[in-house]
Amino acid sequence: MHSGAASQGHPRASWLGPRQTMLEVFIALLSCVVRCIRAFVMEVIIQPSQEAASLLAAKMIASLVRRKPAAVLGLATGSTPLGLYRELARMHREEGLDFQRATTFNLDEYVGLAPGHPASYHHFMRENLFRHINVAPENTHIPDGLSCDIPATCEAYEASIRAAGGIDLQILGIGSDGHIGFNEPASSLASRTRIKTLTPRTRADNAPFFAQGEEVPHHVITMGIGTILETRQVLLLGFGLKKAEALAAAIEGPVSPMVPASALHFHPRAHVILDEAAATRLERTDYYRHVFDNKPVWQKQ
Ligand code: F6R
């Protein structure tokens, strides 16, 4: 005996399962379309200042941590995320934003620098974020720059990201040569955590973080572009004129290993948050502003 609409005299398409109604199929198709629209979106958000951009990024992270207290955050170092980290620390202090159950994975570390070295990314994270919030030290992960077996360390790093359930949201800065993490131009778009050699340009850009006369290391351990593409959401921050050219190439140029940040076009959910100066080389700023101002409600979640 048949059940459902067909047995009650309503016509039923022959490809429908025995328990599916037209309405159920319509809802399934609609949610599929919505998922497809959500996929592979690079959202470009231009903010009036670096401060406004940092506050917006902090709000997005806070909203994730409130929704999912055990969120897995991917973190970056350098001058770009400093305002964001200051705001997260303020939210923790004044609004009780709770990182107790959160886990963090940093993008990279210099090979040969001990965690106590003032230019190491271990030191940077401790001073600029970790000691200001309540994340459990055992839940924070940064590649070991002193490892005697770098390939094994890199494999273990990938394994611990997988064991944590993957990264929910990855913060990125961009190098003036277009790198993300320390994936320098010509990095494989499928690369995983590994050792990389810095370009002379990146070493010069990062020299101000080192004491005068001190050599910037040539090598780093960095998450790969493939590792970054597997994260569930990415926030790429870019501030100042110095980043304008790299950002234009990444956002409006072709996807190319020569501009590693351009690989984010293959990311299912990438947001690029810029200040006005960093947006000066973009051609379609009016359109990006229009899209942001008219964002459908369901996309704002
Ligand atoms: C840092 C990192 C790098 C920096 C980039 C920009 O962990 O992975 O990609 O984000 O070099 O550096 P700043 O922010 O100092 O301009």
User: Is 10 annotated in the active site?
Assistant: no
Model confidence over 62-78: pLDDT tens digits? Answer: 999 999 999 999 999 99
Q: Which of 182, 223, 225, 234 should be mutated for ligand 1, with most atoms under 8 A from CB?
A: 182
Q: Which fold has domain 19-300?
A: Rossmann fold (3.40.50)
pLDDT band (50, 70, 90) for residue 42: very high
Atom of ligand 1 nearest to the CA of 242: 16
**Per-residue confidence (pLDDT) for residue 36, from 0 to 100:** 47
Q: Which of 87, 92, 108, 109 is catalytic?
A: 108
Q: Which residue has the higher pLDDT, 94 or 28?
A: 94
- Tell me the pairing of strands 72-75 and 103-106: parallel
The answer for 298, left when phi > 0, alpha when psi is -120 to 50, beta otherwise, is alpha
Q: Which of 87, 109, 144, 184 is catalytic?
A: 184
pLDDT band (50, 70, 90) for residue 18: low
**Per-residue confidence (pLDDT) for residue 24, from 0 to 100:** 65
Question: In the chain, where are the structural domains located?
Answer: 19-300
pLDDT band (50, 70, 90) for residue 135: very high
Q: In the 8-state DSSP scheme, what is residue 79?
A: S
Determine contact, residues 76/173, Cβ cutoff 8 Å: yes
Model confidence over 165-195: pLDDT tens digits? Answer: 999 999 999 999 999 999 999 999 999 999 9
**Per-residue confidence (pLDDT) for residue 273, from 0 to 100:** 98
User: Is 177 annotated in the active site?
Assistant: yes
Model confidence over 181-233: pLDDT tens digits? Answer: 999 999 999 999 999 999 999 999 999 999 999 999 999 999 999 999 999 99
- pTM of structure: 0.87
How many Cβ atoms are within 10 Å of 192's Cβ, its own excluded? 16
**Per-residue confidence (pLDDT) for residue 237, from 0 to 100:** 98
Is residue 175 lining ligand 1, measured as CB closer than 6 Å? yes
Is residue 177 lining ligand 1, measured as CB closer than 6 Å? no
Determine contact, residues 47/275, Cβ cutoff 8 Å: yes
